[in-house]
Structure 1
Amino acid sequence: MKRLCYVLIIMLLWNCKSGVKSQSITISSEEVKNIVNFLASDDQRGRDVGSPGIEKSATFIEAKFKDAGIKPDFHTYRDTFKVDSLDAFNVVGYIEGKDPKLKNEFIILGAHYDHIGYGKSVAGDSIANGANDNAAGTSAVLTMAKYFVNKKDNKRSMIFALFSAEEKGLLGSKHLAKRLKTEGLDLYTMVNFEMIGVPFKDRDYKAFITGYDLSNMAQKMNSYTSSNLIGKSEIAIKYNLFKRSDNYPFFQEFSVPSQSISSCDMTNFDFYHHVDDEIDKLDFEFIASLINKIIPAVEQMAHTPTKEIKMNHE
């Protein structure tokens, strides 16, 4: 009996220890806010391509990857390309999968970290900080990258891509998609995060997905999380948002489910490409909650023995 009690106590202590570890990597609103605060501060001057501000932002993202122990996807974190005469660079990290077979299949989590630089002056302020567009989405990719590198159990390999020159016509994602296609990457799915800084007030879901009817991604994510997490936005369909963010070049190159998750379809945010897209407009508790709810869905994507997320025409 004493031996049994001893074993039970050890098991209880281990479970408590495991619970603390799991709890310690839950994404907090403070962690999200710190990332957005840096990227959307006046010091970054709106993160336009070729500017000192976007250079500082890229260096910040690289440091986050390094501190978390995430490897560069190439020889360096920077995937460089040209925008006219300007040097531009995506920042790309990588976690190898743990399964000998499934590690050859890839999931990409992405968001653009650039913005438009300056906008029409309002009350003497002309810096377009881009807090919702898209420092918020960048925070999702960075915090998820940290989560998965700590968890160390993803069976499929994962790429974390922060794109530049989205505001110039999706140029960064076009460059990376073509490069990875040329290299023969086996892409399972690409999930992009775009403007997740404010909640809807009149929806029964937390966020929508662009190209809702093109694949079963929304249904699978809801099934994986046992919730109505991801919904369909008729406004997003009206404005063809599926083709207006960094998911689209991956869909074009790979013909696999490549879609954007967003909580803003222009009905609940009045500051798109506006100098008042500031930190004080965002709901950081909501952003952290959304990221935490999405993580289990991405975990399932990284673990299923077959590719369950498919285009609807297949």
Structure 2
Amino acid sequence: GAHYDHIGTANADGEDTIANGANDNASGTSAVIELAKYFAKAKTNKRSIIFALFSAEELGLLGSAHLAERLKTTSINPYVMFNIEMIGVPMTDKDYTVYLTGYENSNMAQKFNGYAGAKVMGFLPQAKQFNLFKRSDNYAFYAQFKIPAQTVSTFDFTNFDHYHKVGDEAAAMNFDHVAKVVNQLIPGVEGMTNSVTHEILWNE
């Protein structure tokens, strides 16, 4: 999942007041769409995958909460929820590509990296400091199902100056980086969909 809404307008930069949200979170929605295209063609997943794009994340996770509540009334029993948020620019001086919110609360990073054969996910102290686990659409699914529901991101509070500003434009995105993230996520997602048992466990 990923959210496609942004904040609408913000303080003007020249005559521009429209906050387009290229990083937050067109980058994430683009990744979800690319993953959906990949799995629709490759058909390598044994488990079913729901690809979801949410509105009203910025208003308080309203779109994801609605879907989570609806799923709770069905026979669907989600294994994990994997959310993608702000992957438009790379981090520097890190030995991993994306950080995982709620890193210490599950073994998702370790299992994912094992599936990928690379250190794709890592721990960012600021993510814990600012409790980012509860600040994106993953949290709505944790609240309903108490499953490993976590977000990956590359926004580390130092590498992007346009958070919730009108400067969050496509021109500020590193498209090679976004493509790298998507390509590195594919084998990990495949691993999650194909394991014989539920290997990713919540340990809070």
TM tier, smaller: over 0.9
Give how far 1:267 is off. 1.8
- Is 1:232 matched with 2:123? yes
Q: Return structure 1 stretches of 4+ with deviation > 2 angstroms.
A: none
Deviation string, structure 1 residues 17-62 (Cα, Å, up to 9, x no partner): xxxxxxxxxxxxxxxxxxxxxxxxxxxxxxxxxxxxxxxxxxxxxx
* Structure exhibiting the larger radius of gyration computed from Cα positions: 1
Deviation string, structure 1 residues 250-270 (Cα, Å, up to 9, x no partner): 001001100000001212111
Find the counterpart in structure 2 of residue 212 from structure 1: 103
Find the counterpart in structure 1 of residue 77 from structure 2: 186
Give how far 1:123 is off. 1.0
Percent identity for Structure 1 against Structure 2: 56
Find the counterpart in structure 2 of residue 241 from structure 1: 132
- Is 1:117 matched with 2:8? yes
Give how far 1:312 is off. 1.9
Inter-partner Cα distance in structure 1 for 2:66 and 2:37: 25
Find the counterpart in structure 2 of residue 273 from structure 1: 164
Deviation string, structure 1 residues 147-205 (Cα, Å, up to 9, x no partner): 00101231100000000000100000011001101113110000000000000111111
Matching of residues 167-186 of structure 1 within 5 Å: 167-186=58-77
Specify which of 304, 307, 310 is matched with residue 198 of structure 2.
307
- The more displaced of 186-195 and 263-272 is 263-272
Give how far 1:220 is off. 0.6
Unaligned regions of 5+ residues in structure 1, if any?
1-109
Find the counterpart in structure 2 of residue 139 from structure 1: 30
SS in 2 for 1:159: coil
Give how far 1:114 is off. 0.7
If asked which structure has higher relative contact order (CA below 8 Å, sep 6+), I would say 2
SS in 1 for 2:52: strand
Inter-partner Cα distance in structure 2 for 1:217 and 1:153: 20
Is this contact kept in 1: 2:89–2:154, CA < 8 A? Answer: yes
SS in 2 for 1:175: helix
Q: Which has the higher strand share?
A: 1
Inter-partner Cα distance in structure 2 for 1:144 and 1:250: 20
Inter-partner Cα distance in structure 1 for 2:118 and 2:45: 22
Inter-partner Cα distance in structure 2 for 1:219 and 1:188: 16
* TM-score, normalising length: structure 1: 0.64
- Is 1:296 matched with 2:187? yes
- Is 1:197 matched with 2:88? yes
Residues matched between the structures, number: 204
* TM-score, normalising length: structure 2: 0.98
Is this contact kept in 1: 2:91–2:156, CA < 8 A? Answer: no
Superposition RMSD in Å: 0.8
Inter-partner Cα distance in structure 1 for 2:194 and 2:114: 14
Give how far 1:211 is off. 0.2
